Protein backbone atom coordinates (compact mmCIF):
# COMPACT_ATOMS: atom_id res chain seq x y z
CA UNK A 1 0.00 0.00 0.00
CA UNK A 2 1.86 3.07 -1.31
CA UNK A 3 1.81 6.42 0.47
CA UNK A 4 3.52 9.80 0.49
CA UNK A 5 3.60 13.06 2.45
CA UNK A 6 3.27 16.60 1.10
CA UNK A 7 4.36 19.73 2.98
CA UNK A 8 1.48 22.23 3.08
CA UNK A 9 3.33 24.86 5.15
CA UNK A 10 3.00 25.98 8.80
CA UNK A 11 3.73 22.43 10.06
CA UNK A 12 0.77 21.07 8.12
CA UNK A 13 1.28 17.90 6.04
CA UNK A 14 -1.04 16.03 3.72
CA UNK A 15 -0.86 12.26 3.91
CA UNK A 16 -1.90 10.33 0.82
CA UNK A 17 -2.31 6.56 0.48
CA UNK A 18 -3.02 4.84 -2.83
CA UNK A 19 -5.43 1.89 -2.74
CA UNK A 20 -5.15 0.89 -6.41
CA UNK A 21 -7.97 1.45 -8.91
CA UNK A 22 -11.72 0.92 -8.86
CA UNK A 23 -13.80 -1.00 -11.42
CA UNK A 24 -13.82 2.04 -13.70
CA UNK A 25 -10.05 2.31 -13.65
CA UNK A 26 -9.99 5.40 -11.40
CA UNK A 27 -7.30 5.61 -8.74
CA UNK A 28 -8.55 5.18 -5.17
CA UNK A 29 -6.79 7.46 -2.73
CA UNK A 30 -7.25 8.30 0.95
CA UNK A 31 -6.01 11.67 2.15
CA UNK A 32 -5.57 13.17 5.55
CA UNK A 33 -4.11 16.53 6.67
CA UNK A 34 -2.13 16.56 9.92
CA UNK A 35 0.18 18.81 11.93
CA UNK A 36 3.76 17.60 12.42
CA UNK A 37 7.05 19.25 13.39
CA UNK A 38 9.03 17.81 10.47
CA UNK A 39 8.98 15.30 7.65
CA UNK A 40 10.24 12.48 9.88
CA UNK A 41 7.26 12.88 12.20
CA UNK A 42 4.93 13.19 9.20
CA UNK A 43 6.22 9.88 7.79
CA UNK A 44 5.62 8.24 11.16
CA UNK A 45 2.05 9.49 11.08
CA UNK A 46 1.77 8.19 7.50
CA UNK A 47 2.69 4.69 8.71
CA UNK A 48 -0.01 4.96 11.39
CA UNK A 49 -2.46 6.15 8.73
CA UNK A 50 -1.70 3.11 6.56
CA UNK A 51 -2.22 0.82 9.58
CA UNK A 52 -5.63 2.43 10.27
CA UNK A 53 -6.71 1.90 6.68
CA UNK A 54 -5.53 -1.71 6.60
CA UNK A 55 -7.36 -2.44 9.87
CA UNK A 56 -10.53 -0.84 8.54
CA UNK A 57 -10.46 1.75 11.35
CA UNK A 58 -10.06 4.85 9.21
CA UNK A 59 -13.12 7.04 8.76
CA UNK A 60 -13.17 9.81 6.18
CA UNK A 61 -13.38 13.15 8.12
CA UNK A 62 -16.16 14.35 5.82
CA UNK A 63 -18.25 11.35 6.87
CA UNK A 64 -17.20 11.12 10.52
CA UNK A 65 -20.13 11.14 12.93
CA UNK A 66 -20.00 12.72 16.37
CA UNK A 67 -20.22 9.36 18.16
CA UNK A 68 -17.26 8.00 16.15
CA UNK A 69 -15.09 11.02 16.84
CA UNK A 70 -15.83 10.90 20.56
CA UNK A 71 -14.23 7.43 20.66
CA UNK A 72 -11.11 8.90 19.04
CA UNK A 73 -11.20 11.85 21.44
CA UNK A 74 -11.39 9.57 24.48
CA UNK A 75 -8.38 7.39 23.56
CA UNK A 76 -6.20 10.10 22.00
CA UNK A 77 -6.98 12.93 24.43
CA UNK A 78 -9.31 12.12 27.32
CA UNK A 79 -7.37 9.17 28.73
CA UNK A 80 -4.04 10.97 28.36
CA UNK A 81 -4.79 14.49 29.50
CA UNK A 82 -7.80 14.41 31.85
CA UNK A 83 -7.86 13.22 35.44
CA UNK A 84 -9.66 9.93 36.05
CA UNK A 85 -12.59 11.54 37.88
CA UNK A 86 -12.87 14.37 35.34
CA UNK A 87 -12.92 11.87 32.48
CA UNK A 88 -15.62 9.87 34.24
CA UNK A 89 -17.74 13.03 34.56
CA UNK A 90 -17.14 13.92 30.89
CA UNK A 91 -18.14 10.41 29.80
CA UNK A 92 -21.32 10.57 31.89
CA UNK A 93 -22.37 13.74 30.03
CA UNK A 94 -21.29 12.28 26.68
CA UNK A 95 -23.15 8.99 27.11
CA UNK A 96 -26.29 10.33 28.78
CA UNK A 97 -26.76 13.56 26.85
CA UNK A 98 -24.47 14.22 23.89
CA UNK A 99 -24.56 10.84 22.12
CA UNK A 100 -28.39 10.54 22.32
CA UNK A 101 -28.68 14.08 20.94
CA UNK A 102 -25.83 14.34 18.42
CA UNK A 103 -24.54 10.78 17.96
CA UNK A 104 -25.34 10.36 14.25
CA UNK A 105 -24.72 13.96 13.23
CA UNK A 106 -21.62 14.49 11.04
CA UNK A 107 -18.95 16.69 12.58
CA UNK A 108 -18.83 19.12 9.67
CA UNK A 109 -22.60 19.65 9.86
CA UNK A 110 -22.51 21.31 13.30
CA UNK A 111 -23.39 24.99 13.46
CA UNK A 112 -23.30 27.36 16.46
CA UNK A 113 -27.11 27.35 16.53
CA UNK A 114 -27.07 23.59 17.20
CA UNK A 115 -24.97 24.21 20.32
CA UNK A 116 -27.14 27.14 21.44
CA UNK A 117 -30.36 25.13 21.06
CA UNK A 118 -28.86 22.18 22.94
CA UNK A 119 -27.77 24.34 25.88
CA UNK A 120 -31.19 26.05 26.00
CA UNK A 121 -32.94 22.67 26.20
CA UNK A 122 -30.86 21.68 29.22
CA UNK A 123 -32.58 24.36 31.28
CA UNK A 124 -36.08 23.19 30.42
CA UNK A 125 -38.31 20.81 32.40
CA UNK A 126 -37.55 17.08 32.07
CA UNK A 127 -33.95 17.75 31.02
CA UNK A 128 -32.61 15.96 34.10
CA UNK A 129 -31.76 12.28 33.95
CA UNK A 130 -32.28 11.59 37.66
CA UNK A 131 -36.07 11.77 37.58
CA UNK A 132 -36.22 15.10 39.42
CA UNK A 133 -38.32 17.96 38.15
CA UNK A 134 -36.94 21.03 36.39
CA UNK A 135 -33.89 21.61 34.25
CA UNK A 136 -30.19 21.48 34.97
CA UNK A 137 -28.53 24.14 37.09
CA UNK A 138 -26.61 26.95 35.40
CA UNK A 139 -23.30 25.47 36.59
CA UNK A 140 -24.21 22.05 35.11
CA UNK A 141 -25.17 23.64 31.78
CA UNK A 142 -21.82 25.42 31.66
CA UNK A 143 -20.10 22.08 32.30
CA UNK A 144 -21.86 20.65 29.22
CA UNK A 145 -20.55 23.66 27.27
CA UNK A 146 -17.06 22.90 28.58
CA UNK A 147 -17.25 19.28 27.40
CA UNK A 148 -18.47 20.27 23.93
CA UNK A 149 -15.79 22.95 23.61
CA UNK A 150 -13.09 20.45 24.51
CA UNK A 151 -14.30 17.85 22.00
CA UNK A 152 -14.65 20.27 19.09
CA UNK A 153 -11.36 21.99 19.94
CA UNK A 154 -9.61 18.65 19.45
CA UNK A 155 -11.49 18.08 16.18
CA UNK A 156 -10.25 21.45 14.88
CA UNK A 157 -6.74 20.92 16.27
CA UNK A 158 -6.51 17.57 14.47
CA UNK A 159 -7.75 19.23 11.26
CA UNK A 160 -10.90 17.12 11.04
CA UNK A 161 -13.07 20.23 10.91
CA UNK A 162 -12.16 23.76 9.79
CA UNK A 163 -14.22 25.64 12.34
CA UNK A 164 -15.15 24.94 15.94
CA UNK A 165 -18.91 25.70 16.26
CA UNK A 166 -18.58 26.16 20.02
CA UNK A 167 -16.12 29.05 19.62
CA UNK A 168 -18.92 31.27 18.33
CA UNK A 169 -21.19 30.50 21.30
CA UNK A 170 -20.88 32.59 24.46
CA UNK A 171 -20.32 30.51 27.62
CA UNK A 172 -23.54 30.17 29.65
CA UNK A 173 -23.72 32.49 32.64
CA UNK A 174 -23.59 30.80 36.02
CA UNK A 175 -25.91 32.06 38.70
CA UNK A 176 -23.78 32.00 41.82
CA UNK A 177 -26.12 31.21 44.67
CA UNK A 178 -25.18 32.07 48.21
CA UNK A 179 -23.72 28.93 49.76
CA UNK A 180 -24.92 27.50 53.05
CA UNK A 181 -22.28 27.92 55.74
CA UNK A 182 -21.93 27.82 59.52
CA UNK A 183 -21.53 30.96 61.57
CA UNK A 184 -18.72 31.32 64.09
CA UNK A 185 -21.06 30.33 66.95
CA UNK A 186 -22.33 27.31 65.00
CA UNK A 187 -18.74 26.15 64.36
CA UNK A 188 -18.02 26.31 68.09
CA UNK A 189 -21.16 24.26 68.75
CA UNK A 190 -20.23 21.78 66.01
CA UNK A 191 -16.74 21.23 67.47
CA UNK A 192 -18.37 20.50 70.83
CA UNK A 193 -20.67 17.90 69.21
CA UNK A 194 -17.65 16.24 67.57
CA UNK A 195 -15.76 15.66 70.81
CA UNK A 196 -17.09 12.13 71.34
CA UNK A 197 -16.96 11.08 67.68
CA UNK A 198 -14.21 8.80 66.29
CA UNK A 199 -11.01 10.83 66.01
CA UNK A 200 -10.57 10.34 62.24
CA UNK A 201 -14.05 11.73 61.54
CA UNK A 202 -13.52 14.63 63.91
CA UNK A 203 -10.21 15.45 62.21
CA UNK A 204 -11.64 15.30 58.69
CA UNK A 205 -14.29 17.87 59.63
CA UNK A 206 -11.76 20.03 61.45
CA UNK A 207 -9.31 19.91 58.52
CA UNK A 208 -12.06 21.08 56.17
CA UNK A 209 -13.05 23.86 58.58
CA UNK A 210 -9.63 25.11 59.61
CA UNK A 211 -7.59 24.47 56.47
CA UNK A 212 -10.30 24.79 53.80
CA UNK A 213 -9.42 21.43 52.24
CA UNK A 214 -11.53 19.68 49.61
CA UNK A 215 -12.73 16.13 50.33
CA UNK A 216 -10.34 14.57 47.81
CA UNK A 217 -7.44 16.57 49.27
CA UNK A 218 -8.28 15.35 52.77
CA UNK A 219 -8.45 11.70 51.70
CA UNK A 220 -5.25 12.05 49.67
CA UNK A 221 -3.21 13.30 52.63
CA UNK A 222 -0.23 11.20 53.67
CA UNK A 223 1.69 11.60 56.90
CA UNK A 224 4.69 12.97 54.99
CA UNK A 225 2.46 15.87 53.95
CA UNK A 226 1.94 17.03 57.53
CA UNK A 227 4.81 18.86 59.27
CA UNK A 228 3.79 18.72 62.90
CA UNK A 229 6.82 20.77 64.00
CA UNK A 230 6.13 23.62 61.59
CA UNK A 231 2.35 23.30 61.90
CA UNK A 232 1.70 23.03 58.17
CA UNK A 233 -0.12 20.75 55.74
CA UNK A 234 1.18 20.36 52.17
CA UNK A 235 -1.56 19.59 49.67
CA UNK A 236 0.13 17.59 46.91
CA UNK A 237 -2.52 15.02 46.01
CA UNK A 238 -6.21 14.36 45.70
CA UNK A 239 -7.75 10.91 46.09
CA UNK A 240 -10.64 9.98 43.81
CA UNK A 241 -12.54 6.80 43.02
CA UNK A 242 -13.82 5.80 39.60
CA UNK A 243 -15.76 2.77 38.47
CA UNK A 244 -13.15 1.84 35.86
CA UNK A 245 -9.91 2.40 37.80
CA UNK A 246 -10.92 2.20 41.45
CA UNK A 247 -8.82 4.43 43.72
CA UNK A 248 -6.83 7.08 41.84
CA UNK A 249 -4.25 9.24 43.63
CA UNK A 250 -3.49 12.21 41.41
CA UNK A 251 -2.65 15.90 41.59
CA UNK A 252 -5.13 18.35 43.14
CA UNK A 253 -7.72 20.19 41.06
CA UNK A 254 -5.22 22.58 39.41
CA UNK A 255 -1.64 23.83 39.76
CA UNK A 256 -2.72 26.48 42.27
CA UNK A 257 -4.24 23.74 44.42
CA UNK A 258 -0.73 22.46 45.21
CA UNK A 259 -0.05 24.55 48.29
CA UNK A 260 1.10 24.65 51.89
CA UNK A 261 -1.40 25.67 54.58
CA UNK A 262 -0.66 26.66 58.16
CA UNK A 263 -2.91 25.08 60.76
CA UNK A 264 -3.71 26.18 64.33
CA UNK A 265 -1.91 24.59 67.26
CA UNK A 266 -5.16 22.91 68.36
CA UNK A 267 -5.23 20.92 65.13
CA UNK A 268 -1.50 20.12 65.36
CA UNK A 269 -2.00 18.53 68.79
CA UNK A 270 -4.97 16.51 67.52
CA UNK A 271 -2.90 15.20 64.58
CA UNK A 272 -0.07 14.23 66.94
CA UNK A 273 -2.40 12.05 69.01
CA UNK A 274 -3.95 10.56 65.89
CA UNK A 275 -0.56 9.77 64.32
CA UNK A 276 0.44 7.70 67.36
CA UNK A 277 -2.74 5.65 66.92
CA UNK A 278 -2.20 5.16 63.17
CA UNK A 279 1.45 4.18 63.62
CA UNK A 280 0.43 1.43 66.05
CA UNK A 281 -2.23 0.21 63.60
CA UNK A 282 0.33 -0.06 60.80
CA UNK A 283 2.65 -2.17 62.94
CA UNK A 284 -0.21 -4.42 64.07
CA UNK A 285 -1.50 -4.86 60.50
CA UNK A 286 1.86 -6.37 59.44
CA UNK A 287 1.35 -8.51 56.32
CA UNK A 288 -2.33 -7.49 56.17
CA UNK A 289 -1.34 -3.92 55.28
CA UNK A 290 -3.18 -2.74 52.12
CA UNK A 291 -1.77 0.76 51.87
CA UNK A 292 1.18 -0.35 49.78
CA UNK A 293 3.92 2.30 49.79
CA UNK A 294 1.41 4.94 50.93
CA UNK A 295 0.68 5.82 54.54
CA UNK A 296 -2.60 7.71 54.30
CA UNK A 297 -3.63 9.95 57.18
CA UNK A 298 -7.23 8.80 56.83
CA UNK A 299 -7.58 5.08 56.23
CA UNK A 300 -8.94 1.88 57.69
CA UNK A 301 -6.87 -0.10 60.20
CA UNK A 302 -5.02 -1.91 57.41
CA UNK A 303 -4.07 1.21 55.46
CA UNK A 304 -6.78 1.05 52.79
CA UNK A 305 -8.03 4.57 51.99
CA UNK A 306 -11.59 5.54 52.75
CA UNK A 307 -14.17 5.37 49.99
CA UNK A 308 -14.87 9.06 49.09
CA UNK A 309 -18.67 8.91 49.30
CA UNK A 310 -18.43 7.34 52.77
CA UNK A 311 -17.39 10.75 54.10
CA UNK A 312 -20.63 12.41 52.97
CA UNK A 313 -22.72 9.47 54.20
CA UNK A 314 -21.27 9.67 57.71
CA UNK A 315 -21.60 13.48 57.71
CA UNK A 316 -25.32 13.40 56.87
CA UNK A 317 -26.02 10.73 59.48
CA UNK A 318 -24.02 12.58 62.12
CA UNK A 319 -25.94 15.84 61.61
CA UNK A 320 -29.28 14.01 61.64
CA UNK A 321 -28.32 12.13 64.80
CA UNK A 322 -27.34 15.37 66.54
CA UNK A 323 -30.24 17.38 65.13
CA UNK A 324 -27.78 19.99 63.86
CA UNK A 325 -28.16 22.33 60.88
CA UNK A 326 -27.39 20.53 57.61
CA UNK A 327 -24.88 21.80 55.09
CA UNK A 328 -22.90 19.73 52.60
CA UNK A 329 -19.48 18.45 53.65
CA UNK A 330 -17.98 20.62 50.90
CA UNK A 331 -19.64 23.64 52.50
CA UNK A 332 -17.27 23.25 55.45
CA UNK A 333 -14.62 24.56 53.04
CA UNK A 334 -16.90 27.50 52.24
CA UNK A 335 -17.35 28.04 55.97
CA UNK A 336 -13.56 28.28 56.35
CA UNK A 337 -13.51 31.04 53.74
CA UNK A 338 -16.39 33.04 55.22
CA UNK A 339 -14.89 32.87 58.72
CA UNK A 340 -11.66 34.36 57.35
CA UNK A 341 -13.61 37.04 55.49
CA UNK A 342 -15.45 38.00 58.67
CA UNK A 343 -12.10 38.22 60.48
CA UNK A 344 -10.93 40.74 57.89
CA UNK A 345 -8.52 38.58 55.87
CA UNK A 346 -7.72 39.82 52.36
CA UNK A 347 -9.33 37.96 49.46
CA UNK A 348 -5.88 37.19 47.98
CA UNK A 349 -4.82 35.42 51.17
CA UNK A 350 -8.03 33.42 51.21
CA UNK A 351 -7.61 32.55 47.52
CA UNK A 352 -4.11 31.16 48.10
CA UNK A 353 -5.21 29.23 51.18
CA UNK A 354 -8.10 27.57 49.34
CA UNK A 355 -5.98 26.80 46.27
CA UNK A 356 -8.06 28.77 43.77
CA UNK A 357 -6.66 29.26 40.27
CA UNK A 358 -6.89 33.04 40.72
CA UNK A 359 -8.50 35.65 42.92
CA UNK A 360 -11.41 36.01 40.44
CA UNK A 361 -12.62 32.56 41.46
CA UNK A 362 -12.64 33.64 45.09
CA UNK A 363 -14.48 36.85 44.26
CA UNK A 364 -17.10 35.00 42.19
CA UNK A 365 -17.82 32.44 44.92
CA UNK A 366 -17.58 34.65 48.00
CA UNK A 367 -18.33 38.08 46.54
CA UNK A 368 -21.57 38.45 48.51
CA UNK A 369 -19.79 37.64 51.80
CA UNK A 370 -17.02 40.12 50.96
CA UNK A 371 -19.63 42.79 50.25
CA UNK A 372 -21.37 42.04 53.55
CA UNK A 373 -18.07 42.34 55.41
CA UNK A 374 -17.37 45.62 53.62
CA UNK A 375 -20.79 46.96 54.62
CA UNK A 376 -20.10 46.02 58.25
CA UNK A 377 -16.79 47.88 58.05
CA UNK A 378 -18.56 50.93 56.60
CA UNK A 379 -21.11 50.82 59.41
CA UNK A 380 -18.31 50.74 61.99
CA UNK A 381 -16.68 53.77 60.39
CA UNK A 382 -20.04 55.53 60.34
CA UNK A 383 -20.50 54.89 64.05
CA UNK A 384 -17.11 56.54 64.66
CA UNK A 385 -17.14 59.48 62.27
CA UNK A 386 -20.91 59.94 62.20
CA UNK A 387 -20.95 60.83 65.86
CA UNK A 388 -17.99 63.15 65.36
CA UNK A 389 -19.70 65.07 62.55
CA UNK A 390 -22.91 65.39 64.56
CA UNK A 391 -21.17 67.44 67.24
Per-residue confidence in pLDDT tens, the chain, 391 aa: 678 888 988 888 888 888 877 777 788 788 888 888 999 999 998 888 888 877 776 666 667 899 999 999 999 999 999 888 899 999 999 999 999 999 999 998 999 999 999 999 999 988 888 778 888 989 899 999 999 999 999 999 988 888 899 999 999 988 766 678 898 899 999 999 999 999 999 999 999 999 889 999 999 999 999 999 999 999 999 999 888 888 988 888 777 789 999 999 989 999 999 999 999 999 999 999 998 889 999 999 999 999 999 999 999 999 999 999 999 999 998 888 888 887 878 778 888 888 877 666 666 666 666 566 556 655 655 565 555 554 4
Whether 107 and 226 map to the same domain: the answer is no
In a domain, 104, yes or no: yes
Query: Three-state SS string across 26-41, please?
Result: CEEEEEEEEECCCHHH
C-alpha–C-alpha distance, residues 281 and 387, integer Å: 63
Q: What is the tally of structural domains in the chain?
A: 3
Q: Taking the C-alpha atoms of 296, 297, 300 and 302 in order, what is their torsion angle to the nearest 10 degrees?
A: 50
Same domain for 243 and 283, yes or no, is yes
Q: Specify burial of residue 68 (Cβ count, 10 A radius: 0-12, 13-18, 19+).
A: middle
Residues 45 and 83 in one domain: no
Does residue 227 sit in the same domain as residue 365?
yes
**In terms of domains, do 133 and 113 share one?**
yes
Is residue 391 in some structural domain? no
10: left (phi > 0), else alpha (psi -120 to 50), else beta?
A: left
The single-letter DSSP state of residue 11 is T
How many residues make up the chain in this entry?
Answer: 391
Residue 108 sits in the same domain as residue 195: no
Residue 106 phi/psi, 5° resolution?
Answer: -70, 145
Residues of the domain holding 320: 184-374
Residues 6+ apart with CB under 8 A from 89: 143
Q: Are residues 296 and 366 in the same domain?
A: yes
Clarify whether residues 324 and 359 are in a common domain: yes
Same domain, 164 and 228: no
Pairwise CA distance, residues 126 & 387, whole Å: 58
What's the CATH number where 85 sits?
1.10.150.130
Q: Is the pTM value of this prediction over 0.75?
A: no
Whole-number Å distance between alpha carbons of 19 and 22: 9
Of 168, 196, 214, the position where a domain reaches its end is: 168
DSSP 153-201: HHHHHTTS-SS-GGGGSPPPPP--PPPP---HHHHHHHHHHTTTS-HHH
Q: Is there a domain that residue 379 lies in? A: no
Q: Are residues 116 and 222 in the same domain?
A: no
Q: Based on the domain organization, do 221 and 111 belong to the same domain?
A: no
Q: Is residue 357 part of a domain?
A: yes
Spatial distance between the Cα atoms of 335 and 90, rounded to a whole number of angstroms? 29
Which pLDDT value is given to residue 77? 95
Amino acid sequence: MAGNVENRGNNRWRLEVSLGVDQDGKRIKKRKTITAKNKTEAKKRLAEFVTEIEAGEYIDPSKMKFKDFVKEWETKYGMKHLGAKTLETYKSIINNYLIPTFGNKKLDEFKPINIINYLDCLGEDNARKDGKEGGLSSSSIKYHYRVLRNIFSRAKEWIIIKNNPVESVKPPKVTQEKTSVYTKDEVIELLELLKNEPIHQKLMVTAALMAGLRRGEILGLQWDDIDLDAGTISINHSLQYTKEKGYVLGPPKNNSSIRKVSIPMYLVEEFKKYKRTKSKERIQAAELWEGGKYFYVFSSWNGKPFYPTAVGTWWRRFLKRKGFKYIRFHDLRHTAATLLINEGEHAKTISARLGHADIKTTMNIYGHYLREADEKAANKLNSIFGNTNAK
